[in-house]
Chains A and B, each alone.
Chain A
Amino acid sequence: MEDSTLIQACKNNSLRAQMQVYQLHKDMMYNASYRILGDSEDAQDTVHDAFIKAFKAIVNVDDNLNLGAWLRRIVVNCSLDFLKKHKRIVRWDVSIDLEDEDETEAMEDITLKAEVVKRAINRLNERSRITLVLYLIEDYTHKEIAQQLGLKESTVRNQYRRGKMQLQRELNIIH
């Protein structure tokens, strides 16, 4: 069934269509939430919350909407809400600003494997992991991350730079 047909059926509150959407997108949403929350149970609960929120709001979306992208945005926002609700963001602002530096990364010639990168991301501290995941994987801008987390944009930029350096160290790209 096409996305537009599924969306239309969900607008009519069809349980069958809603479960089909759930089956199609649950793993993608689980991975997105897990990368942010770092906890399986919390991520699974958040995915359920996100689907319920989505099905309640779906009456307002266009039938031609990219359903996967829309659901992904919702689960990321729900995951960030979870972090805020459990006060896991509160101490970010005390970080010391790094010197402003060029954003562009040197084009180092690296050979990597996805599994290795995934493990390295999961080893990062929470601040670095969240910032890197939102910026590199979920395509949020620094400004959007700052707005979502209630932080200053400069704090997010600095945290991103730290996170990237930490990840490069984990992957032995820099020492």
Chain B
Amino acid sequence: MSLEKYIRQNRSKLDDKRMPDYRDHEFEARLKSELHHSAQPIQRKRLWALSIAATIVAIVAVGAVFTIDRMEEIERRDQLVVALGEDQTNSTRLEAIYEIEDLSRRQKEDEQILAAFFKILKDDSDSNSKIAVIDALMAFPENEAVRENIIEALATEKEPLVQLKLIKSVTILRERRAEESLQEIINDTETLPVVKENAHATLAMLNNK
């Protein structure tokens, strides 16, 4: 047996180190501090969504003029587009994407935000941001630009988790224009087996449509 084959077949036997117990307590404290306090992103996102909902209800109730509401939307939209920029940290971008995803359930898609999303899909190296963007884009299945950008991303993306997300998206969209890209993914010798399997399944589904 070759050395390479031996290592590949016995990789689990190489795992013999254990995390010290005292690090467990440190981690639990950090987890509580970062994800379970009021300042944590998920709760903050919900609070923000609630505050927006409350604002909208209040405005409707008092019959406030449409222009005030619209100006606030545009101002917030601009803040979110900035938060999606390349110079922002991954976590800032992710929070902005989640917030837009929440807002998009109530509002029509915004061209500037879509443009920022498409840019992340094409240029950003962070897989988590891309996956979050794909989720947010899937709120607009009828939008032709959204469909085209998802198909384009499938043709160029090499990160397996993002590839899987894109394959799932073209499956939901029943997008036959993705067939060529799916075939290329299957033919690519560097594609992970799990990605190939998903591409095969989607291709078969599209062909039987």
Contact = CB atoms under 8 A, between A and B. Distances in A.
Q: Return the 7 tightest CB-CB contacts between A and B, nearest first.
A: A114-B13, A31-B15, A57-B128, A105-B2, A26-B19, A136-B7, A60-B131
B2 A61 contact: no
A105 B32 contact: no
- Tier of interface size on chain B: 35 or more
A23 B27 CA distance: 11
Interface of A: 13, 15, 18-19, 22-23, 26-28, 30-31, 34-35, 40, 44, 47-48, 51-53, 55-57, 59-62, 66, 70, 73, 105-110, 112, 114-115, 117-118, 121, 132, 136-137, 141, 143-144, 147, 164, 167-168, 171, 173
A34 B17 contact: yes
B31 A15 contact: yes
A137 B7 contact: yes
B94 A56 contact: yes
B172 to A, nearest CB: 12
6 contacts: A23-B24, A26-B24, A35-B14, A51-B31, A56-B41, A107-B2
Nearest to A117: B7
A15 B14 contact: no
A52 B14 contact: no
B190 interface: yes
Interface of B: 1-4, 6-8, 10-11, 13-20, 23-24, 26-28, 30-32, 34-36, 41-42, 91, 94, 98, 128, 131-132, 135, 158, 160-161, 164, 168, 190, 194
Contact of A22 (B1, B24, B164): B24
Contact of B31 (A18, A40, A60, A171): A18
A55 B19 contact: no
Nearest to B131: A60
A122 B180 CA distance: 44
Contacts of A26: 19, 24
Nearest to B189: A141
Contact of A47 (B19, B36, B98, B128): B19
